[in-house]
Amino acid sequence: MKQGWKKNLTIYVRIKKRYRRGKLKSKKGAKWDFLADGYRKTIRVCPIKDLWHYRLTVEHQEWTQKLKVLFLGDKPFKLQRERYGAWRGAKTGRTKARALRVWQITGTSDVIVGHLGRYTLAVSDGQKLIPFKKMPLPTDSFFLGRGPLNPRQFKTLKTVCRHPRPKMDRLVRAPQLYKIPTRDELGDKHKY
C-alpha cells in the first residue's frame, strides 16, 4: 500500500450499481485491468474517474474534501526539463489538476492519497517539519510527502492551493464630477 496501486492489490470497484471485490491484474497506460471475484474477464478501471475504495484493516477516517493533485500525464507532477530549439524550460504545459480522495490513518500522520499510496502529513513551524496527526482544516497550510522530515530530503506531492483566491472588489461607479452637456447646449451649427 505504500507505493499505491500495484498488481494483485485487493480493492472494491463499483460495477453496475454495486461494489465488487477483486484484484488488479495489469496496467495499460493510465488505466488498470481489474478482475472481480467470480468474473472471467477483466474490466478496465480508471483510478481517477471510477468509484472504488480500499479494503483497509486499520482504523481510518476519510477527509471531507478531495485533494487536488497536479498530474503530468498519468503520473504525479515531477519537475522535468524539455527543449524546443533554443528554448529550454520545465515540462509544465500538460499538467492537470485531479481531485483525489484521501484517507488518514487515525492517530498517525500517515495519509493514503487516492491510488498514489501512503504519504506523510506535515506542517512547518518556520524551521522544521512536524508530523501533523489531525485532519487539517481547509484554511491550514500543510505538506504531503515522503522521506525524512527535514526540508531538504522531504519530497512533497505537488497540490493545487486549497485557499480560496482573494476576489477583487467590483468596480463601484464614482459620482459624476460634472454635468454632461446635451446636444443643444453643444451648439451644433447644422440643424438636422
What residue ranges define each of the domains in the chain, with the CATH number in brackets? 1-55 (2.30.30), 59-163 (no CATH)
Quote the cell numbers at residue 138.
Answer: 481547509
Percentage of residues of the chain with pLDDT beyond 70: 93
For residue 151, what pLDDT is reported?
Answer: 81
Given a cut of 90, is residue 65 above it in pLDDT? Answer: no
Residues 6+ apart with CB under 8 A from 121: 104, 109, 110, 111, 131, 132, 133, 136, 142, 143, 144
Neighbours of 82 (CB within 10 A): 11
Say if residue 190's pLDDT is above 70: no
Please give the average per-residue pLDDT across 34-57, as a whole number.
91
User: 123, 130 in Cβ contact below 8 A?
Assistant: yes
pLDDT of residue 19 exceeding 80: yes
- Three cell numbers at 167? 476576489
Q: What is the pLDDT of residue 183?
A: 78
Strands (E), 16-80: 18-28, 31-36, 43-45, 52-54, 60-62, 67-72, 75-76
